[in-house]
């Protein structure tokens, strides 16, 4: 099978790692870049040897023959580019969060469905090697039937240094990290029946919330506590950007803790092993586990684009996560439990 031709829309921080991950997967050819500030796209093109650069997205679509689009822009640009993909009948991958509100996300999915255009969301956290190993433990039945879990991503890491635009978001940590952690809750335990959420703002110079606590009841009676924070304070057990878990079952427990230690405790005792992510030379060591997960996520999307199987993170599937994100904001505002 010949390589699939693709174009990247948006050449900011994450594009460097997304493009490098596609090169790692193989089977694709990057033929063009779009960015509103053309000079930024030109730098990325020089780095990766991309032949064409555009400052107009629709001009790119008119001028290039591509098999799919990869959108890596800021949130507000996602929807207009997805609508262009639907107009030109081009399969499209979009970074999370899908949109800046639920109504727009629903419209994006509906527009692509009506046009017969595949829409995928680049939700890579579930593809982290230690989290896939955690899922294998749950699926094996070693700890029996899970009944309670904690998912935690709490860090003092200065996230606003690399991504200063995050300071300007009216909704921050639940759209940013909650898109990942709530998706992990669904990935591990299925769909939610209800949730309740509380938020806080610790940074004085940001618009949105930087701390959130969400309690979900899943359809299979698992209670899941999700804790997130970018308070940029001093934390003893700061494993950024690793997500940590503690899951209780009726026959034991499993913990995924700092430094990728996976501990399974049953009647026989505790078995511990490290499940570190693969190391790629192009990955930023500060984001190692996240950047490594882009590779299997892209491989899964490519499989679907090639007609070899169904991708996990389609637009329709991710819309269920988006609904949890915005239900969390509704709960925090109303101080009420949200039922599904």
The residue ranges of every structural domain in the chain are: 4-122, 129-280+319-339
Q: What pLDDT is recorded for position 325? A: 97
Closest to 332 measured CA to CA, from 191, 172, 224: 172
Residue 204 tokens read as: 């004085």
Q: What pLDDT is recorded for position 236? A: 76
296-304: long-range contacts at Cβ-Cβ below 8 A with a sequence spacing of 24 or more?
Answer: 296/127, 296/132, 297/21, 297/122, 297/123, 297/124, 297/127, 298/18, 298/21, 298/22, 298/25, 298/122, 299/25, 300/127, 301/93, 301/120, 301/122, 302/4, 302/25, 302/27, 302/28, 304/118, 304/120
Q: Contact, 155 vs 122, CB < 8 A?
A: no
Q: How far is CA 143 from the centre of its chain?
A: 27
325-328-330 Cα angle (round to 5)? 115
Percent of the chain with pLDDT over 70: 100
pLDDT tens over the chain, length 340 residues = 799 999 999 999 999 999 999 999 999 999 999 999 999 999 999 999 999 999 999 999 999 999 999 999 999 999 999 999 999 999 999 999 999 999 999 999 999 999 999 999 999 999 999 999 999 999 999 999 999 999 999 988 888 887 888 899 899 999 999 999 999 999 999 999 999 999 999 999 999 999 999 999 999 899 999 999 998 888 877 888 899 999 999 999 999 999 999 999 999 999 999 999 999 999 998 889 999 999 999 999 999 999 999 999 999 999 999 999 999 999 999 999 999 9
Q: Contact, 94 vs 72, CB < 8 A?
A: no
Q: What pLDDT is recorded for position 166? A: 86
- Cα separation of the two ends of the chain: 44
Q: Is 292 exposed, middle or buried (0-12, 13-18, 19+ CB in 10 A)?
A: buried
Q: What pLDDT is recorded for position 315? A: 98
CATH fold, domain 4-122, is Rossmann fold (3.40.50)
Pair type for strands 52-54 and 68-71: unpaired
Kindly report the number of other CB atoms within 10 A of residue 7's CB atom: 23
Architecture of domain 129-280+319-339: 2-Layer Sandwich (3.30)
Q: 3-state class of 273 per DSSP?
A: strand
Closest to 6 measured CA to CA, from 72, 55, 56: 72
Closest to 153 measured CA to CA, from 208, 210, 203: 210
Q: What pLDDT is recorded for position 71? A: 98
Name the pTM for this structure: 0.94
Q: What pLDDT is recorded for position 104? A: 98
- Buried-exposed string 51-84: b where 16+ CB fall within 10 A, e elsewhere: eebbeebeebbeebebbbbbbbbbbebbbebbbb
What's the rounded Cα separation, in Å, for the pair 166 and 172?
7
């Amino acid at each position: 099978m010949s390589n699939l031709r693709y174009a990247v829309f948006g050449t900011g921080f994450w594009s460097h790692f997304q493009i490098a991950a596609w090169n790692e997967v193989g089977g694709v050819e990057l033929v063009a870049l779009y960015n509103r500030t053309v000079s930024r796209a030109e730098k990325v093109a020089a780095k990766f040897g991309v032949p064409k650069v555009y400052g107009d997205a629709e001009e790119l679509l008119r001028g290039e023959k591509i098999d799919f689009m990869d959108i890596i822009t800021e949130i507000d640009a996602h929807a207009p580019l997805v609508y262009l993909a639907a107009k030109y009948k081009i399969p499209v991958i979009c970074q999370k969060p899908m949109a800046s509100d639920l109504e727009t996300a629903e419209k994006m999915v509906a527009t692509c469905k009506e046009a017969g255009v595949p829409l995928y969301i680049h939700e890579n956290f579930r593809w982290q090697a230690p989290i896939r190993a955690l899922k294998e433990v749950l699926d094996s039945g070693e700890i029996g039937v899970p009944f309670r879990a904690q998912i935690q991503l709490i860090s003092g890491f200065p996230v606003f240094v690399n991504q200063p635009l995050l300071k300007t978001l009216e909704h921050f940590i639940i759209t940013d990290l909650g898109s990942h952690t709530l998706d992990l809750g669904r990935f591990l335990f299925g769909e939610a029946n209800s949730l309740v959420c509380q938020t806080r703002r610790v940074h004085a110079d940001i618009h949105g919330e930087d701390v959130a606590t969400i309690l979900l009841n899943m359809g299979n009676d698992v209670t899941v506590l999700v804790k997130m924070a970018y308070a940029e304070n001093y934390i003893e057990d700061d494993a950024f950007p690793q997500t940590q878990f503690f899951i209780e079952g009726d026959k034991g427990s499993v913990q995924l803790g700092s430094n990728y230690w996976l501990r399974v405790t049953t009647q026989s005792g505790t078995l511990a092993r490290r499940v570190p992510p693969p190391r790629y030379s192009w990955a930023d060591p500060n984001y190692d586990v996240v950047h490594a997960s882009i590779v299997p996520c892209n491989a899964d999307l490519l499989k679907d684009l090639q007609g070899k199987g169904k991708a996990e993170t389609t637009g329709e599937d991710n819309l269920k996560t988006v609904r949890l994100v915005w239900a969390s904001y509704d709960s925090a505002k109303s101080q009420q439990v949200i039922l599904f």
